[in-house]
Structure 1
């Protein structure tokens, strides 16, 4: 096994660079062969199992996207007729085997429903958190629970390499259980900003789902506005940032309601800069038509009339012109150059894609490898948008009756859930998810090596705690 050199080393010393080898012009078979060669060369696993997992990673449920690779078998799956052969359902485990007791040697297992009240994995470096996390995720797959895993350092991405059969034999492992896992798990490695693996991007203009009640809709739109506020480098906790967020909220809510073009950065920037002029032109185009000399031109209504007819606020009173101009400049910067990659390279975040397998009976394990994002602000924003997508998806689900629909696993959460008074973009949203997820059948699990660096209110939401070794008194 190749030992890691640095948490921030994008060359990925775990051998994941080989697993994610860029094959933009290759077929899915060529991609799998390249991965097998790279992984085998790194000395990780046997070639047969590596090829199996590589094929799974290459054939993930991706609908398409700019700059990304779509395996031919995925397109074939999407186009498969309804009369296709139905494969037998795979047997799901009714319990999650976590290990054996030291005192009795008996198996230690839990019911999957225990995780509906959430869990935390705590322990310093080297205490076994990663091993425990992999065991829990593998058992979730065997129990038929799809997983979404935020992996900042690549530790959990190695799930795509499978389990070495010989290593398992040497440790008296369960080979039948390994075979079931390989048969059931559909591993996908999602890679923001990079065309290696399965590229994934953000669509920050996705509106909240239809059919929400008033309170849910306000919360969901507030998340949209908060995302743009942070993206424009305003602190929503400060007075100036709160003004900007409220302004963007009103632009997005009413612009979407009136079907006005606010669905890309350039259009939003124009609306932000001069909303009265733009909205009037869009709502009353007849006032701006050229007319013949003998025709009477339709008068342009003033903003008070526009406000009354379309229930709009007085935007220019909400934010000074110089602030509007600066906000527009910052937003428009994301429509070109390297800044646009986060929003264009790959397929947009879609929770139906995360949940649905390509092959019936398999269980998707979605690993989002965050180390491909080097900028901390962009990484925070990406996590925020993942959380927003999860929250919006939950609101479309019927309340769960004991069944888990998703395991949401966050590794090394300290940068995203720090103690008060720090409040990074994703924190409030993740806290909200922890409070409401159980109702919708979503189990949340977080892991950290620095307990004192995580908000205790979040940790208090975890009903089950896996505790490893600690070396610092404050932990």
Structure 2
């Protein structure tokens, strides 16, 4: 096969196959499936990426080629610069990391199945060489080569995460229940969904089958989470355990806490959760990168990612817990995006049966249904795959506009698929025949699929292209560990960016205020120092037996203004520092800044605590004024905030928006512009082609008429010739017959000339159509090249707070608990 012609905004999934089933199964799409559509695609199956925003469902029995098709779809999305979050329950999708542009045997050698080589009587090296040759030839048959593999690698970074395991990149989910984004907190329904989903997932992990309406445990945990999250506070699991034992409120509804959920039962729940925290098996859940959709979709420099979250090693309970948290995180991310008709990102889940059942409500179902119903408006495409369509909620399937149907043999699976297709739209239903679809699905070969897309005029049959990635089968933990070890050190370091000061958690005892990890050596008698009334005091943390270390805490409001960047925002922050020896000049140089909601403060110390002594001369109003003046100078010089600027597009990021988020937004803007230009260009050429096709049809009609006249004239010549011979034999007016014969021959000759001219006219019209198609292809290619080269430069712009508007709301002596 000749190299494929890339079409901008289209995903190359395979080559078309004629729909041979009789009847209405072929519908309006049968002729299109059997031949090119006139756009110069040469019979390729090109899927418009925008159609994926209405979601897709892929189904097929084992051996149907379903995994290869879905991997191909994700590869195409990556080539187009579209990131994806991939939930992989079996481990097959880890193969996305096995792409080798040079297609050398040594590239394949570490990943081959040596047992398969032995069964074939080949050495591992010979088997690797044969595999490399097989992949090279398979790609060539699909019009692809190593250069296209490189385009896939350049388009997106493939990252393998293994939650609950250190074999890949671990995901940190159990140390802190992070507060959702502001967009979710401002939406009561979204906030309620997030709380219920998180609590249900957590109780599922504990083995508690809790009803969100009737279970005291569920209601108590939901109340605790809601209280913390509405204040914008992350809640550590240790804090959650303590809050279960001693809730931060007195009543639940109209009942007091003790009556609603007795202390004995609360302690039992707390012990169960504490057992999870103390279990060695759950240590891996408390380390690694935080579960954040933004970092799953884009790297620190804004490069799209294919993040494969492999959960094959987890048990069913752990899988449900993690998938629920992940889907809730994606919902939160989605709600923070602007609307878009272009494909922004893909969420793919393999083997979705069990997470979206028809008659049950596991914790994963609610957020998945939310995505299927709402994600389209934000440009997020959801792709689900399963071997068993009967085990998936039909309401979920009704939200999928594209169906990829592989071979099915079970009668109930075929019936469910047909029912789903019939319910898609009335227009599509009219083009389908149940019997023909049934025959088609049961007779499909491997790697052959029936595509039904609500955006097209009927179903199409196609054979999948060769995968760019090496499909070796599920990777073992050892192989995943080898992949991670082969990553560049810089890339691995960049994968775990440090949180900015304004987003970091509150400093723990003896951490930020006195140096991370330092040990405080307690001196003096441990009694609370006497502080003048003019010096306010606050206390952070603490428990019986803890020691308080003195520091300074300032609550400030800073005003950031940059008219050209569209920045005019106030930012509230807490600034904390250790006192050291009490000097004024550099006391704030070692300070940290935090969100006020991240640092819970109290006006009184915890009973049973002891205190470090104060440095001399600190506890007086005059010294506090000096600290305040020094703080204002320090904040003006060092409390700068970054915004990102794209001079080419004359666009600035929002205050606090990361570089990766800004670049992702730019890429989405450019993609929307590109899609708009493609739509306009296609519409222009469609109009021109329609006009030319009318002329072609007119020329075909004229040619048919001329051929009929020529045939009539030729028949007349033959008849006159026969009559002339008869008259010569039997007598008659030969001279008149000769004149008649000459006229007939002359007319026949003229009609033949007219046919030749009509044929030439038709060829000319058809050549005009072909030239227009070639012009369209060139225009699309030029547009693709222009947008492929469009990678606008991004610059960092530092903004200082307005010096005259540094508002010091409070400056206090702060006691930090340690020990």
The answer as to whether partners of 2:211 and 2:218 remain within 8 angstroms in 1 is: no
> Does 1:398 find its partner at 2:371?
no
| Farther off after superposition, 336-345 or 426-435 | 336-345
Superposition pairs for residues 152-301 of structure 1, below 5 Å? 152-162=89-99, 165=103, 166-171=133-138, 172=140, 173=142, 174-175=144-145, 176-203=147-174, 205-211=177-183, 212-237=186-211, 242-257=215-230, 263-275=235-247, 279=248
The answer as to whether partners of 1:399 and 1:441 remain within 8 angstroms in 2 is: yes
Among residues 333, 355, 365, which one is paired with 1:416 in the alignment? 355
The separation in 1 between residues aligned to 2:15 and 2:324, in whole angstroms, is: 37
Aligned match of 2:473: none
CA change 1:236–1:466 in 2 (3 A) is same
Q: CA deviation at 1:394?
A: 1.0
Q: CA deviation at 1:182?
A: 2.4
The answer as to whether partners of 2:14 and 2:46 remain within 8 angstroms in 1 is: yes
**1:274-333, Cα deviation, whole Å (9 max, x unpaired):** 32xxx38xxxxxxxxxxxxxxxxxxxxxx58xx9xxx99733333233322221111111
Q: CA deviation at 1:433?
A: 1.4
The separation in 2 between residues aligned to 1:257 and 1:390, in whole angstroms, is: 19
The separation in 2 between residues aligned to 1:434 and 1:200, in whole angstroms, is: 25
Please identify the structure whose Cα radius of gyration is greater.
Answer: 2
Q: CA deviation at 1:342?
A: 4.8
CA change 1:137–1:352 in 2 (3 A) is same
Structure showing the higher strand proportion among its residues: 2
Q: CA deviation at 1:397?
A: 1.2
Q: CA deviation at 1:93?
A: 4.0
**1:75-134, Cα deviation, whole Å (9 max, x unpaired):** xxxxxxxxxxxxxxxx99411111111234601101111000000001100011011001
Among residues 251, 257, 265, which one is paired with 1:323 in the alignment? 265
The separation in 1 between residues aligned to 2:398 and 2:54, in whole angstroms, is: 11
The separation in 1 between residues aligned to 2:151 and 2:333, in whole angstroms, is: 29
**1:170-207, Cα deviation, whole Å (9 max, x unpaired):** 13241132231122231101111222222223145111
> Does 1:370 find its partner at 2:311?
yes
The answer as to whether partners of 1:93 and 1:142 remain within 8 angstroms in 2 is: no
The separation in 2 between residues aligned to 1:333 and 1:325, in whole angstroms, is: 12
| Farther off after superposition, 231-240 or 219-228 | 231-240
Superposition pairs for residues 70-219 of structure 1, below 5 Å? 93-103=8-18, 104=35, 106-162=43-99, 165=103, 166-171=133-138, 172=140, 173=142, 174-175=144-145, 176-203=147-174, 205-211=177-183, 212-219=186-193
TM-score under structure 1 length normalisation: 0.68
Return 5+ residue gaps in structure 2 as ranges.
1-5, 19-34, 36-41, 104-132, 414-819
The answer as to whether partners of 1:208 and 1:221 remain within 8 angstroms in 2 is: no
Secondary structure of residue in 1 paired with 2:412? coil
TM-score under structure 2 length normalisation: 0.40
Q: CA deviation at 1:169?
A: 3.2
The separation in 2 between residues aligned to 1:364 and 1:159, in whole angstroms, is: 11
The separation in 1 between residues aligned to 2:362 and 2:284, in whole angstroms, is: 19
Root-mean-square deviation (CA, aligned residues, Å) is: 2.6
Q: CA deviation at 1:168?
A: 4.1
The separation in 2 between residues aligned to 1:179 and 1:210, in whole angstroms, is: 39
The separation in 2 between residues aligned to 1:459 and 1:223, in whole angstroms, is: 21
The separation in 2 between residues aligned to 1:367 and 1:243, in whole angstroms, is: 36
Among residues 423, 438, 453, which one is paired with 2:376 in the alignment? 438
Aligned match of 2:494: none
Higher relative contact order (CA 8 A, sep 6+): 1
**1:127-173, Cα deviation, whole Å (9 max, x unpaired):** 11011001100011111110110111111111111157343431324
The separation in 2 between residues aligned to 1:168 and 1:269, in whole angstroms, is: 54
Q: CA deviation at 1:253?
A: 1.7
CA change 1:419–1:196 in 2 (3 A) is same
Aligned match of 1:407: 346
Q: CA deviation at 1:346?
A: 1.6
Aligned match of 1:340: 282
Aligned match of 1:464: 402
The separation in 2 between residues aligned to 1:205 and 1:238, in whole angstroms, is: 18
- Number of residues of Structure 1 aligned to a counterpart in Structure 2: 349
The answer as to whether partners of 1:152 and 1:411 remain within 8 angstroms in 2 is: yes
CA change 1:132–1:259 in 2 (3 A) is closer
Secondary structure of residue in 1 paired with 2:353? coil
The separation in 2 between residues aligned to 1:226 and 1:466, in whole angstroms, is: 33
Secondary structure of residue in 2 paired with 1:372? coil
